[in-house]
Chain A
């Protein structure tokens, strides 16, 4: 310890040349590089923001204004025509997405919490193996289960229904929700649970009284992760739903990629904003949990 501090002092003597000029030059070099760093960071901010700004500007323009202006030109007059038209096209699908997301998120979170509880506090022979098998679900390319899943939904009479989509999202969200809770509960001292068990507390009492109250952050992470995943899903929506039951991502894609009629870019952009707003709002309000979900999914997954 003392060696380091001695070395530090000595080399700082060497590094700092005597005299004011040297110090000033160093200061100037420092502030120049600080300036370059800030400039780069701000430029990057601008680049990341451009698509969002363009979407917003375009959505408030008239088709005429879009043809005469350019991506970043200010609208001649702000008009809500695009938004009103877009809501007319995708509004009902927005509610479809809500109907799919709410139950799917809640069910998969509850199941994930219980699974995580069992897999950390009530391990039994084979539970580790099961956790391994489940984890693979985080990496599963869903193309490999689409066909059997659609046959099964057909057999169950759930093809093209909201219930069917909820079921699919619960099943294929389970790997991540379990992972979140299991990884959190593993860090909780087992002695806590053992003591409660000695006091005669049962399986659900321990869960409800001890673990659940301390899991609020994990529950947030899980809810936000599942909300983002399911709201943004396109693959399951386009395969397992049709017509009136489609989620908003599918409706948006249909709107944007129809080749009939004149392209109304203001409507396209307003519809894209409508589809993107719920997750954006959640991200702005609860970015901390969003990030934690991403990184814990990443580091442990």
Chain B
């Protein structure tokens, strides 16, 4: 090949542009490769390194081994935050899924104003969690919010002060988060329902199955992939939830509504506990991986089976 090219000046010119053409894709991708390797992976390792040091306001590289993780385990506030994440995440995911599926199934019954209704269910997803938090903080305001509304409407003894109740404040976060994300689950499932082969449903109807039975036994089980991807996204939102807590309760009262993301921010950036913050961030990454890896594993396995 090359011996032929050497004899022809035109071909050698062609070869230099060929060389450029061959390298161009790699050159174009190069900045992103650097960004990913440094900005994602090197930074994770850097944070991991910091979690093994006694860094406070400034990074220091004095190795303390697992001491920060031990401190985390003994930290009451961290346990409150983790427990809150379980309660918040569990309820948020369960309620959003149920509500989303229900609305999707109902909307799938040839509703005339479907487009408009869908738009209404989904609009909270376009808002910032800070806006959502602000709105719900006002809605649930003890004294002037829902509290007063229902009393004005004639329910004299109505009291609603969960927002300042350390034992119940986490449920307020659940309400706001469900309001924001359940429409999204609805949209995912509605898209999934549209992909179900109508002849299966018709066949079941012919066999005399009622509509609820058809959905519960046939249609919804066939939407397993949609279910799992919704689960993934909701879990991901729950673990990353920081803005909602910041705007709605700022972690309070006390630290009763703290979540790990909030814990990490507060300790790292306002309390000068950088090492501890880094350790908590690594545990958050661990939580994400604990959900992500089995999901990806099952995805790959089903793909191989297909």
Contacts and interface: CB of A to CB of B under 8 A. Distances in A.
Helix, strand, loop or mixed for chain A's interface? helix
Nearest to B41: A133
Contacts of B148: 70-71
B130 A11 contact: no
A60 interface: no
A256 B247 contact: yes
B285 interface: yes
Interface in B52-78: 59
B119 interface: yes
B40 A140 contact: yes
B98 interface: no
A133 B284 contact: no
A80 interface: no
Contact of B206 (A11, A146, A147): A11
Contacts of B37: 133
A163 interface: no
A294 B184 contact: yes
Contacts of B137: 256
A111 B39 CA distance: 15
Interface string A264-301: 01001101100110011011100100110011001101
Contacts of B135: 51-52, 54-55, 269, 272
Interface in B19-39: 21, 24-26, 28-29, 31-33, 35-37, 39
Contacts, number: 255
Interface in A147-194: 147-149, 151, 171-172, 174, 178
B173 interface: no
A141 B268 contact: no
Contact of A134 (B32, B123, B149): B32
Contacts of B141: 265
Contacts of B268: 146-147
Nearest to B136: A51
Nearest to B99: A44
A44 B100 CA distance: 11
Contacts of A40: 106
Given A44-B103, A133-B40, A299-B229, A144 B47 contact: yes
Instruction: Give me the 5 closest cross-chain CB pairs, A-B, nearest first.
Output: A232-B128, A122-B25, A283-B126, A234-B243, A148-B43
Given A49-B120, A269-B134, 8 more contacts: A143-B285, A145-B44, A147-B47, A148-B43, A239-B265, A256-B247, A276-B131, A290-B122
